[in-house]
Amino acid sequence: MKFHLNSSIVILTFFLFILLGLNQFLIASVSTSLGGSSMTSIAGDFFHIKSASAKVIIMPILNPDGRTTSLKSMPTITDVAAEPKGRDIAQDAMHVMVGTGSPFYAPSGVSFDNPVGAEKAWGSYQSLQLTASQEQRFTALTHILTCNYCCGTPMRVTINASGSCAHAQAARGFFRYMLKKYGDTYSNKQLLGEAFRWQAIWFPQGVVQDYLLATGRGNVLGHQTHGGAGIDGKHGITL
């Protein structure tokens, strides 16, 4: 009698698992038919839409292969705006990814609102002298930050240390300035995330497309491939 009861419980549990799996499949199928994400794209929708301002940004980070990048959340120094609701999706994404105003740490006159002026200003700090430990951090940072939107190919991204464009030079100046002034205050990850905030004002289209891709809405603007985006041109994320 005991054996018969236990067998019945096992069989009942098995059928419950089958029904649960079928239910999830049907939900996904209905969602797809209504224009929602497919089962394959759900796996790529791994970032949540920002509902509150926070010191975090989505950016390409170099993969272990040293050639391609993946989109990841990175901490920043300043607040990244929350995504508004009920407006144009592309404009909302721009609101999140493209900073405005002059952050507290920036030298006088350097602002997110003046991309050309900021690029020149940050580039002027490339000759700042650092301590030995700060130089080590500078080397590490410039070998992690990638120059995604104007250099390289989808299968061979250009790292900042090798970039000759004005944007790469500005990033190197930014790192030297920040390590000199705030090296004891902020981590390398925070400096990387904040450096990408400046890349965003120079390449708004690319960063907005990456943000929409990472939040499961890559079909809104499409996604133009760029340095390090991978063989599929989309960082391995399925739309």
Spatial separation of the C-alpha atoms in residues 85 and 92, rounded to whole Å: 8
pTM of the model: 0.80
Encode pLDDT of 94-120 as tens digits. 999 999 999 999 999 999 999 999 999
Query: Virtual CA dihedral for 8, 12, 15, 21, nearest 10 degrees?
Result: -150
As given in the structure block, the two tokens for residue 132 are 């030995």
- CA distances in angstroms from 206 to 56, 146, 225, listed in the order given: 18, 13, 9
Strands (E), the chain: 54-62, 69-80, 146-147, 158-159
The structural domains of the chain, with segments of one domain joined by +, span: 2-36, 54-214
- Segment among 29-38, 84-93, 103-112, 123-132 with least mean pLDDT: 29-38
In the block, tokens 């190197």 appear at: 172
Encode pLDDT of 163-210 as tens digits. 999 999 999 999 999 999 999 999 999 999 999 999 999 999 999 999
Spatial separation of the C-alpha atoms in residues 69 and 64, rounded to whole Å: 9
Helix spans in 114-187 (H): 115-123, 132-142, 166-182
CB 149 within 8 A of CB 201: no
